[in-house]
Amino acid sequence: MIPITTATFKVWKSVDYPLGPTVDGIVIYLGTTATFTPLGDLEPDIEYTAEIMPAATDLAFNPLVSGPVPNEWTFTTGTDPSSGIDLGSASTFGIMAFSAITDALPYDSVVRDGDVAIDPGESCDLTPAQVPEGSIHKNDAVSEQVKIDLLAAYNIAWAMPADETPGTVNLGAYNSALNPLGPGRLPAGVYYSGSTMNVNTNLTLDAEGDPAAVWVFHVGSSLTTTTGSVLLDNSAQAKNVFWVVDQSATIGVNTIFNGNILAGLSITANTGSTIYGRLLGGTGGGGTIALQSATIWVPAP
């Protein structure tokens, strides 16, 4: 037998394979399983190639494959949550809907400092006067690209490690008196709810002085704010807050909400609500953005 060791188990960035520098690491055995552990963090969003050299054999000195052929495979590392989510062309849009955009009486909702898109639907209650600094795009080249970029961002966001990964926190404990930042305050991180997420008291996102701090919330079902607002403190920025919702989101009456909602279905912004962020809905294949006397302020990308 010739064992699997650092001499026979190699890892490269795929762009360097097979002659470039390899990743430093160690091989550890547990029973019949050999595990390669890199000595440092792998880079995010990078394809790597792993290879077991043909010199490695079993107890009968048989290689993994016949002949002098290495056993290789590739994998791609995930997105670093601290870098946020790249919205692409959707970053200048306050609203993106797949089926319809509605505005209830008295038809006075407004999108400030950003654009509006709908694709492939056509029904949009908003008028140009309600999007004073931007444009409304319906089924054109711009809205098509926004839809593509939004779908890509949504999929990347769901691939980010959540609750079960070390270094992330379950949102359910945010109001604990044991919270070192104080009850109702959250440091940057990736937060997770396997079903619904309900903000019924004020939730303050505390950047602890870091304007680049990022929050990603994975919501397995629906997001609802009722009597609570989502607020920012200590240099936190709305552009760095992402609510990734499997189904629908509802923003409560007269509440303040910070962050970008990427919803699989619909988003509702109720009477008097103020959103500092983006309402991007329908990534699950349908959905409506429903407004009622709501104001959406789009942060700079």
Q: How far apart are CA 123 and CA 144, in angstroms?
A: 16
What is the CB neighbour count within 10 angstroms for residue 76? 13
Q: pLDDT by residue (tens digit) across 172-211?
A: 556 666 567 777 888 888 888 888 888 888 999 999 999 9
Say which DSSP state 21 is in.
P
Residue 63 pLDDT: 75
The answer to whether the CB of 124 falls within 8 A of the CB of 138 is yes
Average pLDDT, the chain: 88
Residues of the chain with pLDDT > 70, as a percent, come to 89
State yes or no: pLDDT of 66 exceeds 80.
no
Residue 251 pLDDT: 98
Q: pLDDT by residue (tens digit) across 109-157?
A: 999 999 999 999 989 999 999 999 999 999 999 999 999 999 999 988 8
Residue 169 pLDDT: 53
The pTM of this model reads 0.74
Query: Confidence class of residue 28 from pLDDT cuts 50, 70 and 90?
Result: confident
Residue 167 pLDDT: 45
Say which DSSP state 252 is in.
P
CA nearest to 134, candidates 118, 119, 104, 114 = 114
Summarize the confidence of residues 15-39 as an average pLDDT: 86
Q: pLDDT by residue (tens digit) across 215-253?
A: 999 898 999 998 889 999 999 999 999 999 999 999 999
Domain range summary for the chain, segments of one domain joined by +: 9-77, 83-297
Q: How far apart are CA 200 and CA 53, in angstroms?
A: 57
CA nearest to 154, candidates 222, 82, 111, 216 = 216
| Phi, psi (degrees; rounded to nearest 5) at 28 | -125, 135
